[in-house]
Amino acid sequence: MTRLRVTARRLGGLLNRDRHDAELREELESLAALQLEDQLAHGVPEAEARRRVLARTGNVTAVQEAVRDQRGLAWLLAIVRDARIGVRLLRRSPVFALTAVASLALGLGANAAIFSIVDHLLLRALPVRHADRLLMIDTGSLTYPIWEQVRARAGEFDGAGAWANQEMATRLDGVSRREQAMYVSGGLFELLGVVPVLGRTITTEDDRRGGGPHGPVAVISHAYWERAFGRNPNVLGRTIVVERVPFTIVGVMPPSFFGPEVGRSFTVALPFGAEPLIRGSSSVLDERRNWWLNVLIRRRVDQTEAQVAAALRAMQPAIREATRTPNPDYLTDPLGVTSAEQGRSVLRGRYRDALWVLMGASVVVLLVTCANVANLLLARTQARRAEMSVRLAMGAPRGRLIQQLVVESAVLSVIGALVGVLVALWTARLIVAQISTPAAPVTLDVALDWRLVLFTTLVAALVTPLFAIVPALRATRLAPAEAMREQSRSVTGEGTQTLGQALVLGQIAASLVLVVLAGLLVGTFTKLAYRPLGLESRRIAVASLSLQPDSVPEGERAGLYERVRRQLAGLPGVADTTLAAIAPLSGPGWNSGVVDIDGTEVGGDRPARMVWMNAVSDGFFATYGIPLRAGREVSAADAADGPPVMVVNETFVRRFIGSGSAVGRRVRSGVPGRPETYGAYREIVGVVGDALYRRDLRREVEPTVFIPLTQVDGPVGESITISVRSRAADASSLVGPISQAVESADGRLTSQVVAHQVFVRTALTQERLIATVAGLFGGLALLLAVVGLYGVTAYAVSRRRGEIGVRLALGATPRRVLGLVLRRVAVLVALGIVAGVAVSMWAGEAVRVLLHGLEPSDPRTLIGAAAILLVTGGLAGAIPAWRAARTPPAVCLREP
Amino acid sequence: MGSKTDVWQGTLALMILRTLDTLGAQHGYGIARRIEQISGDRLSVNYGTLHPALLKLEQEGAIASEWGQSENGRRAKFYTLTRRGRTEMARASRDWAETTAIMARFLEEGGEA
């Protein structure tokens, strides 16, 4: 207790130093006067009295210092003093300071950047109330009918809510934009404990089909409120048009809330009940086969996660019965829940492995950084041996000198950490920008926050001793006499260098590991980026069209699509055009199962019978550059009432038909085992080359079936894609003209036009991200290792100048001297490479999941990385060696 | 400081407390004089030793200080014992008495041998 009070008072004593000093001086002066009067009154002669006063008071400054030590915390003052000296010394050697601070800033920054992303994606809980009690149905997306059933039984829990993300066209003050919107169930925000900054949230009343008592209402995110309304407090009651339906804004959400999905933000949230207003007759609210929303459950305080799961499974048969579909497997997998504390995130699943690997890599970068700074400090303390030995000789306690050196290093750390935080912010934003694609924008609130600063500070505090203590011990270890002697020129031993060399060896090994990692990831990326797609992506632009709900009668849609297509075909530079239900690699998929061919069951389980389906118009294969192998393409003559036909790819033929001719065979598809789902027999009229269908470049081409667009069951849908083939090698210049043409073609259309390469790039987002970051890390580590090697060699050479001079004077050729130095560099580099290769092969398994087409121990990558290190390392060592060999012997010998 | 013995740090605090207990509020010179007189001028107290000790006691809350007028009308800083200081003094006096008693026995034994 007393200790605490004393410490508090002493901390307080650090403030107002001048005032305290002045008061003490005044007190001493008054005491001196008192004493003098007292002495004189007792008859002491004035001269003697004054002497006695002086003897008692002594030197005022000395008293002040003694009191100051007691007043403030002496050790703290000493540290502050050391830090000041440290800063002064750093300013005197800017090159050293810059190198060390830059190393630390990059090392710490790289770590903090990865940390901030890992923190947001993997560690941080949703910024909502009772996040620990939130559970999510983890069986995947659900249908709206299922959600209605769960909602009816939500009383078993402390509430349930649903949401679905969707991109929607919004119109505000005459400006149209596509925004990330989300449908929410009434009360979802209350369930999450999100309190609006303005207005209210969406209630159960609002969530009625066709709108609640207040008509169609919407709430907006804080970011959108800032962006679109300039934080105007009068935003409540304004109208925002979403997909041509006017909504009244009734609330603004808090800035901390981005939506229930980490890494994804929303701008506008609408009640599910408003969906029929937007989609009209194609509303999916009653659609039992449209799995599109996510369900959150908040468990009661007295409920466990297992009890919630059990309750769900108990209600599952009733839910299944109420929402039956023809699919025999419908809703048979038991429903389960998982903690939703950190919010759902597709990103998290997709990037978890990659982020952990990058986190590991950034730790290695940090270690390389530490080794580098330690080496710099070592070289510097060697240079300060004279100073240290003099101070030791004059009686400075060793502990005090070590403290000063460590504090000096800490100064470096602090500056490095400060710059590092900035590096981290910049890098993290760069990484987020890399993950984000136009089709799936990623919003991570990577901002300067206390977690990031705390992390950087902690890491800096953790690593400072790593690089500071050993050099400090070294510098103060030697006996003064020995150090003095070393000042004179002599042929010195090499013992003092072992540590520096070991550090460099470690650096070389670590950077080799990182270069290998970068090589593997870049190799994977290139393999995927240059894998044959089977189609000519670069030449193609894709317009995805959708009609306003119920704006175009079903019978007129096909004609409208065909008209737009012809308009696009007329644009300059367009070679071919085609309509397709799904543009290859664009993301969506449609699959079916093959039942039998010419009456013969194909056999096998369901995955083995699975085929990807697409519906296309004439010109599809010409547009995509997919070669025809046999028979004919889908043509304009394949009418709705004509004989049902299909074109299949070569993989289809290999999987289901084998060696014979495929053309003329008749195929029936549907859900195997459920005859009511079987379609009519379709005749194979053509075989085309293999082309990728799904947006997953790691997969092989799977069996694919193309049917004429005209022969799709049911009415023509409200959305379609038009793919355009450019005459030029690159279709991106067509994107603008196509957008304009579609925009002016028909007012009932909304469209999104992209170059097909965007799909490929999107498919490679993760690979590109980790290859880029790993490449950066590898390059950084390599640079640091080279600097370290250069430093050690240069230092070794400078210490052996005398010896080299003698050798040269005695007739050694410069070549021999060069060899002398280089031999040691070569040994160092070779040992480092061997160690690095060993570690790489051992650690390689950890990254196997991220690779494609490469083994973790890919010999070409290992050899390549070793060669890079050999060359750069050799150069770093050769430059000082060459300079040494070129020095005239007289110069070497004359120098002290 | 000549032949006079410098005061030990540990004992000085107790001497200050006892002085303030006996004399009431005192300024630095008064405390120093008193300690020297009691010791029969065998101790010498200078401000370089006294003031850090005063500050330490003040930080511990054993004494309080205030500017005031001396008997001959001079402005000086006066130190007084607080309640906490009185308790602390009682405890330290007891400890010290015990220590000296024990030490005295050892010294007696040594004398007899």
Looking at residue A65, its pLDDT comes to: 78
Task: Please give, rounded to a whole number of angstroms, the shortest distance from the CA of A51 to a CA of chain B.
Answer: 12
Looking at residue B3, its pLDDT comes to: 39
Mean pLDDT in residue range A474-503: 61
Do residues A751 and A739 make contact, with C-beta atoms less than 8 angstroms apart?
yes
Least confidently predicted of A281-290, A669-678, A779-788: A669-678
Q: Which of B47, B59, B76 sits opposite A56 (nearest CB)?
A: B47
Least confidently predicted of A451-455, A554-558, A631-635: A451-455
- B 50-89 residues with CB < 8 A to A: 51-52, 55-56, 59-61, 70, 72, 74-77
Q: Tell if the CB–CB gap between A66 and B59 is shorter than 8 Å.
A: no
- Among residues A702, A597, A596, the alpha carbon closest in space to that of A649 is found at A702
Strands A239-242 and A217-220, by their bridges, are unpaired
* pLDDT tens figures, A322-340: 888 777 778 877 887 777 6
- When comparing pLDDT for A499 and A402, which is higher? A402
Mean pLDDT in residue range A706-724: 89
* pLDDT tens figures, A605-650: 878 888 999 999 999 999 999 999 999 999 989 988 899 999 999 9
Q: How far apart are CA A59 and CA A462, in angstroms?
A: 44
- When comparing pLDDT for A345 and A701, which is higher? A701
- When comparing pLDDT for B13 and A394, which is higher? B13
Is the pLDDT assigned to residue A801 strictly greater than 80? no
- What is the band of A574 on the pLDDT scale with cuts at 50, 70, 90? very high
Phi, psi of A193 (to 5 degrees): 75, 25
* pLDDT tens figures, A50-87: 888 888 888 888 888 778 777 766 677 778 888 888 88
Mean pLDDT in residue range A414-423: 88
Q: A482-504 in b/e burial notation, b at 16+ Cβ within 10 A?
A: ebeebeeeeeeeeeebeebbebb
- What is the band of A493 on the pLDDT scale with cuts at 50, 70, 90? very low
Which of B29, B43, B75, B84 best probes binding to A when mutated, by most A CB atoms within 10 angstroms?
A: B29
Least confidently predicted of A16-25, A147-156, A373-382, A488-497: A488-497
Q: Which of A2, A31, A70 sits opposite B28 (nearest CB)?
A: A31
Q: What is the 3-state secondary structure (H, E, C) of A490-527?
A: CCCCCHHHHHHHHHHHHHHHHHHHHHHHHHHHHHHHHH
Mean pLDDT in residue range A698-722: 89
Is the pLDDT assigned to residue A690 strictly greater than 90? yes
- What is the band of A350 on the pLDDT scale with cuts at 50, 70, 90? low
Q: Tell if the CB–CB gap between A56 and B45 is shorter than 8 Å.
A: yes
ipTM of the complex: 0.85
Q: Tell if the CB–CB gap between A63 and B51 is shorter than 8 Å.
A: yes
Mean pLDDT in residue range A576-589: 90
- The residue in chain B having the minimum alpha-carbon distance to the alpha carbon of residue A61 is B48
Is the pLDDT assigned to residue A27 strictly greater than 80? yes
Q: Which of B27, B49, B51 sits opposite A34 (nearest CB)?
A: B27
Say what angle helices A480-487 and A385-393 make with each other, to 10 degrees: 140
Task: Please give, rounded to a whole number of angstroms, the shortest distance from the CA of B107 to a CA of chain A.
Answer: 34
Looking at residue A627, its pLDDT comes to: 95
Looking at residue A342, its pLDDT comes to: 58
Which sign does the torsion angle of CA A318, A319, A325, A326 carry? negative
Task: Please give, rounded to a whole number of angstroms, the shortest distance from the CA of B103 to a CA of chain A.
Answer: 29
Q: How large a percentage of chain A has pLDDT more than 70?
A: 91
- What is the band of A460 on the pLDDT scale with cuts at 50, 70, 90? confident
- Among residues A209, A274, A222, A223, the alpha carbon closest in space to that of A248 is found at A274
- What is the CA angle A567-A626-A570, rounded to 5? 15
Q: Tell if the CB–CB gap between A30 and B77 is shorter than 8 Å.
A: yes
Is the pLDDT assigned to residue A828 strictly greater than 70? yes
Q: Tell if the CB–CB gap between A58 and B76 is shorter than 8 Å.
A: no
Do residues A452 and A858 make contact, with C-beta atoms less than 8 angstroms apart?
no
Is the pLDDT assigned to residue A480 strictly greater than 60? no
Looking at residue A490, its pLDDT comes to: 46
- The residue in chain A having the minimum alpha-carbon distance to the alpha carbon of residue B28 is A31
Which of A6, A36, A70 best probes binding to B when mutated, by most B CB atoms within 10 angstroms?
A: A70
Q: Tell if the CB–CB gap between A2 and B60 is shorter than 8 Å.
A: yes
Looking at residue A13, its pLDDT comes to: 65
Q: How far apart are CA A417 and CA A406, in angstroms?
A: 16
- What is the band of B46 on the pLDDT scale with cuts at 50, 70, 90? confident
Separation in Å, CA A679 to CA A76, A324, A581, A637, A675: 84, 21, 18, 21, 9
Looking at residue B2, its pLDDT comes to: 36
* pLDDT tens figures, B47-103: 888 888 898 888 888 999 999 888 777 888 999 999 999 999 999 899 889 988 998
Q: How far apart are CA A307 and CA A313, in angstroms?
A: 10
Least confidently predicted of A476-490, A737-751, B37-51: A476-490
- Among residues A467, A457, A478, A483, the alpha carbon closest in space to that of A406 is found at A467
Q: Which of A10, A34, A56 sits opposite B46 (nearest CB)?
A: A56
Mean pLDDT in residue range A347-357: 71
Task: Please give, rounded to a whole number of angstroms, the shortest distance from the CA of A482 to a CA of chain B.
Answer: 40
Dig out the tokens for A206 from the structure.
């609002």
- Among residues B24, B13, B33, B14, the alpha carbon closest in space to that of B97 is found at B14
Is the pLDDT assigned to residue A491 strictly greater than 50? no
* pLDDT tens figures, A236-277: 999 998 888 899 999 999 877 777 776 667 889 999 999 998
Average pLDDT value for chain A: 83
- The residue in chain B having the minimum alpha-carbon distance to the alpha carbon of residue A53 is B46
Least confidently predicted of A13-27, A835-849, B2-16: B2-16
Alpha helices in A255-330, H assignment, sequence order:
275-279, 305-322
**Helix (H, G, I), strand (E, B), or coil: what is residue A92?**
helix
Mean pLDDT in residue range A369-394: 80
Mean pLDDT in residue range A588-615: 86
Count of CB atoms within 10 A of residue A755's CB?
Answer: 23
Q: Tell if the CB–CB gap between A38 and B29 is shorter than 8 Å.
A: yes
